[in-house]
């Protein structure tokens, strides 16, 4: 995971788990929608993601971490819900056509079209009442609510209709100024070393009108300043003033930002290293979480089958 995930999701996950019974899922089946030809890489990705979560402060004593494919009830529920979900509902999901345009027709599989159903099951199988989502995810959640409502209308009140816990997900710019994303190759990873971070920051996009130190800059348009505001908030006003007034140059500002970013990420990176050398602990956490998630999903599946009259 990267700095964008840390600011946008992980800190929110930690906060939510302080006062709620939270389930956090590694959606490895969803990963197959785009990675089906490289399925063997997913196991390593699952482990890396869980290590990032734990290192970022998610406490498995306060919430449940589990892996989607290790709760087979999710797949069975997805089959059942796919029977009642019209194809037109899936096709109108805004990201569906965009993603095919972006990634090519080879991902236009049955699984890719149907992934909002699997996403719905991720929520309803755990009786999820609230789902932390950003604005861009709202249409997906609305579809989940419609599918749950349709099921309840057909078979009786069984599924919980989830509500959005709209989080203020900041638009975190990457090193090239576009949204930070691993697929754009513009991300600073939690697992990067200090040296790699320094090198990435040195190459960062800044205000293109600020060529020399003395040129007046526009910090509000600069991704370096965004990260200064996030990781060096106490000095942000002064940095903005010195950028605008031509007292601060980009080279010096980048070095300063990289130092603050590395300092903020140091405890996360230290916990990552410790977790990497204790892989049995990560296995135990996931085994425990998978068991707990399965317990809930089994109950929900039994209720769904009973409501549908499928308990022969």
Of the candidates 186, 206, 190, 185, which has an alpha carbon nearest to the alpha carbon of residue 257?
206
- Applying CB under 6 A, the residues found at the interface with ligand SF4 are 206-207, 210, 217, 219, 222, 224-225, 243, 248, 250, 253-254
Q: Is 165 helix (H, G, I), strand (E, B) or coil?
A: strand
Which tokens sit at 310? 């499928």
In the complex, minimum distance from the CB of residue 4 to ligand SF4, in angstroms, rounded to a whole number: 18
Q: Which is nearer to ligand SF4, 230 or 250 (CB)?
A: 250
- CB of residue 222 vs ligand SF4: minimum separation in angstroms? 3
Q: How far is the CB of 58 from ligand SF4 (least distance, A)?
A: 32
The span from the CA of 243 to the CA of 214, in Å, is: 9
Shortest CB 228 distance to ligand SF4, Å: 7
Between 11 and 218, CB nearer to ligand SF4: 218
Tokens of 233: 């908030």
Rounded Cα gap, residues 217 and 249, in angstroms:
9
Nearest residue (CB) to ligand SF4, 46 versus 243: 243
Q: Which is nearer to ligand SF4, 196 or 214 (CB)?
A: 214
Minimum distance from residue 254 beta carbon to ligand SF4 (Å): 6
Task: Quote the CA–CA distance of 81 and 90 in Å, as a whole number.
Answer: 12
State how far the Cα of 57 lies from the Cα of 272, in Å rounded to an integer: 11
Question: How many Cα atoms are found within 13 Å in the side-chain-facing hemisphere of 40?
Answer: 0
Nearer of residues 28 and 253 to ligand SF4, judged by Cβ:
253
Structure tokens at 207: 């205000």
Q: How far apart are CA 278 and CA 106, in angstroms?
A: 38
Q: And the tokens for 52?
A: 């990032």
Q: Which helix (H) or strand (E) holds 235?
A: none
Q: How far is the CB of 2 from ligand SF4 (least distance, A)?
A: 20
Nearer CB in complex with ligand SF4: 222/304: 222
* Residue 177 DSSP label: S
Question: Minimum Å distance from CB 242 to ligand SF4?
Answer: 7
- Using the minimum distance from each CB to ligand SF4, give the nearer residue, 79 or 245: 245
d(CA 196, CA 31): 27
The CA-atom distances, in angstroms, between 4 and each of 50, 172, 192, 261, 267 are: 16, 5, 14, 12, 17
CA distances from 190 to 8, 17, 56, 69, 108 (A): 13, 21, 9, 25, 32
CB of 251 vs ligand SF4, minimal distance in Å:
8
Q: Choose between 21 and 215: whose C-beta lies nearer to ligand SF4.
A: 215
């Amino acid at each position: 995971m990267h700095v964008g995930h840390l600011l946008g999701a992980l800190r929110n996950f930690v906060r939510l788990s302080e006062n709620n019974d939270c389930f956090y899922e590694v959606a490895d089946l969803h990963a197959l929608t785009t990675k089906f030809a490289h399925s063997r890489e997913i196991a390593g990705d699952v482990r890396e993601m869980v290590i990032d979560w734990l290192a970022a402060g998610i406490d498995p004593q306060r919430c449940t971490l589990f892996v989607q494919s290790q709760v087979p009830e999710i797949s069975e529920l997805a089959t059942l819900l796919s029977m009642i979900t019209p194809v037109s509902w899936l096709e109108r999901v805004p990201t569906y056509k965009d993603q095919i345009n972006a990634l090519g027709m080879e991902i236009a599989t049955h699984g890719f079209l149907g992934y909002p159903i699997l996403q719905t099951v991720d929520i309803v199988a755990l009786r999820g009442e609230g789902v932390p989502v950003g604005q861009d995810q709202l249409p997906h959640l609305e579809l989940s609510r419609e599918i749950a409502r349709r099921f309840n209308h057909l078979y009786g009140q069984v599924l919980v209709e989830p509500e959005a816990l709209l989080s203020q997900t900041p638009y975190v710019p990457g090193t090239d100024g576009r949204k930070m994303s691993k697929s754009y190759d513009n991300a600073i990873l939690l697992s990067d070393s200090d040296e790699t971070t320094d090198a990435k920051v040195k190459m960062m996009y800044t205000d293109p009108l600020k060529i020399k130190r003395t040129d007046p800059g526009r910090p509000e348009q600069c991704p370096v300043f965004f990260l200064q505001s996030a990781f060096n908030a106490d000095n942000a006003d002064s940095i903005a003033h010195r950028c605008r007034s031509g007292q601060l140059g980009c080279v010096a500002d980048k070095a300063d930002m990289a130092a603050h970013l590395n300092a903020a990420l140091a405890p996360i990176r230290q916990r990552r290293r410790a977790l990497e050398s204790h892989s049995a602990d990560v296995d135990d956490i996931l085994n425990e979480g998978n068991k707990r998630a399965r317990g809930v999903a089994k109950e929900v599946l039994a209720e769904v089958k009973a409501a549908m009259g499928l308990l022969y």
